[in-house]
Amino acid sequence: MEMLVKKLASKISLSLGYDAEKNAVIAYGLLAIVQTSITIILTFLFGLLVHAPIEALIVCFAVSLYRKYSGGAHAYSANFCTVISVMYCTLAALLSRLLMQTYSHGVMLITIPLVYITVFWISYRYVPVDSPNKPITSEAKIRRMRRGSYIIISAYMALQLVFLILDSHSAEFQSYAISLLFGVSWQAFTLTPVGGILLDKLNSLPKF
Amino acid sequence: MKKVYGLVAALSTIVAALVASSACFFFFYQPEEPASLRNE
């Protein structure tokens, strides 16, 4: 994916007479567009395969929005990132559908506060988790990232409450509520040192 | 073709600038950020 994007960016820059820095910016933006689009489309298609496309997209957007402000452990390539993202979203969507069979409003009333208290604590403790390719060192940016994370988690909590209120009207909302929990808890997990170790282990698998 | 390239270049630059303000790309991958977008 990256090779193709770099080739296309070089072609564009050559045609428009851009310098190396402008070429790097175009390649960066283009990779964001291509990778985001492919991940969303594949997540939707694999979600359709397990009869849970909305749940798969809920997990996908819950992770990615929170991740924009929190950062987290990283994969070694865009392709590998897409593979593990689609796999996790599909698996979480399928599990949400399966857990719907044993859904209990009472259990959710206990689980939701426990999950969000833990997520808030992890955010307070670790956000932002930067990467060598994009270090975050300025105090102002760290504060902005933390504030953004808290806002996103609060928005998820509000959405979780909406799902909780609507779960008695339609069983679909039970599954949506579970998938949102899977999304937010997975992203919080990737912020922790244990999550970092897991991603490192996955990164050491044979490359493709 | 130059017009299409110009359009793609403009769109990519806007997206690059939007992504630059976040802590992470989209999911689990973060390519090296161009120097002109860096705001550590």
Q: Is residue A208 part of a domain?
A: no
Task: Please choose, from the candidates A81, A97, A124, A121, the residue with its C-alpha nearest in 3D space to the C-alpha of residue A182.
Answer: A97
Q: Is residue A158 part of a domain?
A: yes
Chain B residues within 8 A of A84 when measuring between CB atoms: 27-28
Q: What is the mean pLDDT of residues A192-204?
A: 90
How many A×B Cβ pairs under 8 Å? Answer: 136
Query: With an 8 Å Cβ cutoff, are A30 and B8 in contact?
Result: yes
pLDDT tens digits, one per residue of A16-54: 989 999 999 999 999 999 999 999 999 999 999 999 999
Q: Is residue A195 part of a domain?
A: yes
**What SS3 class is residue A21?**
helix
Q: Which of B18, B24, B38 to mutate to test the interface with A (most CBs of A within 10 A)?
A: B24
Q: Is residue A127 part of a domain?
A: yes
Question: What pLDDT score does B22 carry?
Answer: 77
A138 falls in which pLDDT band (50, 70, 90)?
confident
- Angstrom CA distances, A82 to A24, A60, A95, stand at 21, 11, 20
Q: Is residue A125 part of a domain?
A: yes
Query: With an 8 Å Cβ cutoff, are A21 and B24 in contact?
Result: no
pLDDT tens digits, one per residue of A77-113: 888 889 999 999 999 999 999 999 999 999 999 999 9
Does the N-terminal peptide bond of residue A128 adopt cis geometry, omega within 30 degrees of 0?
yes
Residues of chain B with pLDDT under 70: 25-26, 39-40
Q: Is residue A185 part of a domain?
A: yes
Q: Total structural domains in chain A?
A: 1
Query: With an 8 Å Cβ cutoff, are A15 and B13 in contact?
Result: no
Q: Is residue A153 part of a domain?
A: yes
| Rounded CA separation A115/A110 (Å) | 9
Any idea what DSSP says for residue B34?
A: P
Phi/psi for A131 (5° steps) reads: -135, 160
- Between B30, B36, B39, which is nearest A21 by CB? B36
Query: With an 8 Å Cβ cutoff, are B6 and A16 in contact?
Result: yes
Query: With an 8 Å Cβ cutoff, are A12 and B26 in contact?
Result: no
Q: Is residue A182 part of a domain?
A: yes
| Rounded CA separation A80/A202 (Å) | 9
Paired tokens of A163 = 């799902």
Question: What pLDDT score does B39 carry?
Answer: 64
DSSP string for A130-149 = -BTTB----HHHHHHHHHHH
| Rounded CA separation A193/A30 (Å) | 31
Task: Please choose, from the candidates A129, A21, A133, the residue with its C-alpha nearest in 3D space to the C-alpha of residue A78.
Answer: A133
Domain interval for residue A130? 2-203
pTM, entire model: 0.89
Question: What pLDDT score does A208 carry?
Answer: 58
Question: What pLDDT score does A72 carry?
Answer: 84
pLDDT tens digits, one per residue of A144-190: 999 999 999 999 999 999 999 998 888 899 999 999 999 999 999 99
